[in-house]
Amino acid sequence: MIEMFVREIFFDGSTKSYILILQDEEKTSTLPIWIGPFEAQAISMGKAGTPPERPQTHDLFLSLLNHLKIRILSAVVSKVEEGTFFSTLHLLSESSEFSIDARPSDAVAIAVRAQVPIYVKEEVLHQIPDHPDFKQLLDSPEESDPPE
C-alpha cells in the first residue's frame, strides 16, 4: 500500500463534476477520483480545518466514534470495479480492530478530519480509468478553487 495525500480538488468542466487528486509524497503516484460537489466541499473543509457552524455528516460520524471510544486508524482505497472505486475505514475499538466499507470520498473526508493516513493499494493505481482531460488538468498551472 502507498500512503497518499489530498493534493487538490479540480473542477472537471466536461463532466461538471469534481476530481479528487490523491498523490504520494514523492509525487510518483497519482490517483484521480471523480466526486460530487458536496463531497468536494466536505473534503475541502476538512483539509482546511474549517469547522462548520453545525456538525455535518462526517463530523457527526467522528463524534459518534469518539463517544463509542472507537479510533480511526486509516482510510484505504482498496479496489476498482468497472470504473468504480471502493474503500474501507480501518477502526480500533477497545476489544477489536475492524474495517467498514465506505465510498472513497467519504473515507477521505473522514480521514482528513481525523488526521489519519490515506492509503491506496498498488493494484488500484494500475486500474485507473482513462480520462483524456486528466493529464491536462494536472499539468495546468491554474488549479480550481475548492468549493465553498
CATH 3.10.690.10: does it fit domain 2-139? yes
Contact indicator for 88, 102 with CB cutoff of 8 Å: yes
Cα 40–chain centre separation: 9
pLDDT of res. 142: 44
pLDDT of res. 49: 85
Under-50 pLDDT residues of the chain: 141-146
pLDDT of res. 143: 46
pLDDT of res. 53: 87
Instruction: Please name the residue that has the C-alpha cell 468536494.
Output: 40
- pLDDT tens for 126-137 read 887 655 555 555
pLDDT of res. 129: 60
Contact indicator for 91, 111 with CB cutoff of 8 Å: no
Pairwise CA distance, residues 45 & 39, whole Å: 10
pLDDT of res. 127: 80
pLDDT of res. 136: 55
Least Cα distance to 113 among 30, 65, 54, 42 occurs for 42
In the chain, where the domains are located = 2-139
pLDDT of res. 83: 83
Residue 123: phi and psi, rounded to 5, are -65, -25
Residue 128: phi and psi, rounded to 5, are -65, 125
